[in-house]
Amino acid sequence: MVPNASFQVISQEILPDVPDQGVFPVSKKGGMEMPEDQQDPEHPVIRVVYGDITRLPVDAIVNAANRGLSGGGGVDGAIHRAAGPRLDECCRRIGGCETGDARITPGFDLPARFIIHTVGPVWSGGGKGEDDLLAACYRNSLRCADEAGCRSIAFPAISTGAYGFPAERAARVALTSIREYFNGVTGIREVLLVCINERCFESYTRLLTP
């Protein structure tokens, strides 16, 4: 497990007519299994979900981008296609993004109001600061969302595709980074961790289950 913080954790599949698959709330004192009638609605919520991130009606979705913000394969390409050609034009004006940093654009044709583009590290065995760079992706993306007034944000599993970051290690970095961020002041009330396969989903739920 990773360190606890003051938010509730809900694991579910975000598919039509699929109920919640289990609730894993995290209390202020760090204890798990808080009864539902004692959960504090003012605390941020994390949801681990299956689904298509381009279809989520959240304030911001995060794009696992390349340094040129030029679109590519996987989630990056799917977001660029769904957002439409205005996103390509906007990204060209931004001019790029360094690994670990984040840039924000409108959502254009997406249900989301904003797209936060962050460049994850390429896995090189773990000895080149990959964990710190991945943590920076989550931290800077959350900061961008807060600055834009977002209350909900959805993340893909950054760097776990073509960039080769091990899924469970990446999940641990993601959860730790998000929890550390929520130790500060934030207006974000909901974080969705969007999975496209069983390996990703199981990595998150294993870390969140006592």
Q: Active site residue: 17, 20, 76, 101, which one?
A: 76
Q: Catalytic residue at 76?
A: yes
Instruction: For 84-101, give one letter per residue: b (16+ CB within 10 A) or e.
Output: eeebeebbeeeebbebbb
CB under 8 Å, gap of 24 or more: what pairs does 139-144 form? 139/177, 139/180, 139/181, 140/100, 140/101, 140/102, 141/62, 141/102, 141/116, 142/178, 142/181, 142/186, 142/188, 143/102, 143/181, 144/60, 144/102, 144/103, 144/104, 144/116
What is the rounded distance in angstroms from the CA atom of residue 196 to the CA atom of residue 52? 8
**Coil/strand/helix, residue 178:** helix
The residues assigned a catalytic role are 76
